[in-house]
Amino acid sequence: MEDMLLYEGKAKKLFKTDDPEQLRVEYLDQATALNGARKDIVQGKGMLNNQITALIFEQLAQKGMSSHFIKKISKHEQLVRPLAIIPLEVVIRNISAGSFAKRLAFEEGVELAQPILEFYFKEDSLDDPLINDDHVKILEIANEEEIKTIKDEAHKINQLLIEIFREIDLRLVDFKIEFGRCSDGTILLADEITPDTCRLWDFKTNQPLDKDVYRKNLGEIVPVYQEVLTRLEKRFN
């Protein structure tokens, strides 16, 4: 029997399995930008992102940071723990770029004196607005203690990811992560960590090896994502 589809996102499908403690994620060959307004089939992208995020979640686990990731089960699928996703996009920025540079007319590519953490409310109908801690509380997205946990974990994840990417000659410019609640209320890192959700610049050339290649029409993304996977596999497999 086919597994039941629980959720279909822009880049992934989530299915039930026979085990209530495990969900199956299928990574799709789809690229989107502008909150889904621009959408393209990109053959091979799902497989690359599934493998990249699996390797990164494994490296984070080795460094003591747990996540919803259980294991990769095929080139384009993985098993994860079921969580109630908290509707927040947690962005951390180490170098100015993207919406931060645009919104504040801040020069791109400047190393920030300290990492900046931002919350965006994950709500497509509102175009995922930037919000602060007070909004998070008033909207009952998370309470004060949970906000502190999310921020502390996000900053730790940032430091671990900086190390991981530095080992493969990539600068972690910024990234977005999501968290979920386990049945006992514990907050756990969820979703994905891929070139779709991170800005990664080559250490030597500063060339982007991430979704900006698609957003800015700089070329094909499959060879770029393949390069990230190849570097990760060479270093960590």
**Residue 24 vs 176, nearer CB to ligand TMP:** 176
**Residue 103 vs 234, nearer CB to ligand TMP:** 103
For the window 40-59, what string marks contact with ligand TMP as x by the rule CB under 6 A? Answer: --------------------
Neighbours of 145 (CB within 10 A): 9
In whole angstroms, how close is the CB of 175 to ligand TMP at the nearest point?
5
In whole angstroms, how close is the CB of 168 to ligand TMP at the nearest point?
17
Residues within window 126-165 making contact with ligand TMP, judged by CB under 6 A: 128
Which long-range contacts link 12-18 to residues 24+ away (Cβ below 8 Å)? 12/192, 17/79
In whole angstroms, how close is the CB of 212 to ligand TMP at the nearest point?
8
In whole angstroms, how close is the CB of 43 to ligand TMP at the nearest point?
21
Report the distance separating Cα 21 and Cα 3, nearest Å. 14
Q: Which stretch binds ligand TMP (CB under 6 A): 11-19, 60-68, 160-168, 195-203?
A: 195-203
Q: With contacts defined by CB under 6 A, how many residues of the chain interact with ligand TMP?
A: 12
In whole angstroms, how close is the CB of 35 to ligand TMP at the nearest point?
7
Among 175, 201, 214, 225, binds ligand TMP (CB under 6 A): 175
Report the distance separating Cα 52 and Cα 13, nearest Å. 17
In whole angstroms, how close is the CB of 211 to ligand TMP at the nearest point?
7
Which long-range contacts link 100-104 to residues 24+ away (Cβ below 8 Å)? 100/174
Task: Say how far residue 27 (Cα) sits from the centre of its chain.
Answer: 13
- The gap between the terminal CA atoms of the chain, to the nearest Å, is 34
Nearest to 116 by CA among 97, 144, 92, 84: 92
DSSP string, 36-75: TTEEEE-TTHHHHHHHHHHHHHHHHHHTT--BSEEEEEET
By the rule CB under 6 A, 179 interacts with ligand TMP: no
Q: Which stretch binds ligand TMP (CB under 6 A): 41-49, 97-105, 163-171, 226-234?
A: 97-105
Give the residues lining the site for ligand TMP (CB under 6 A): 89, 91, 98-100, 128, 174-176, 197-199
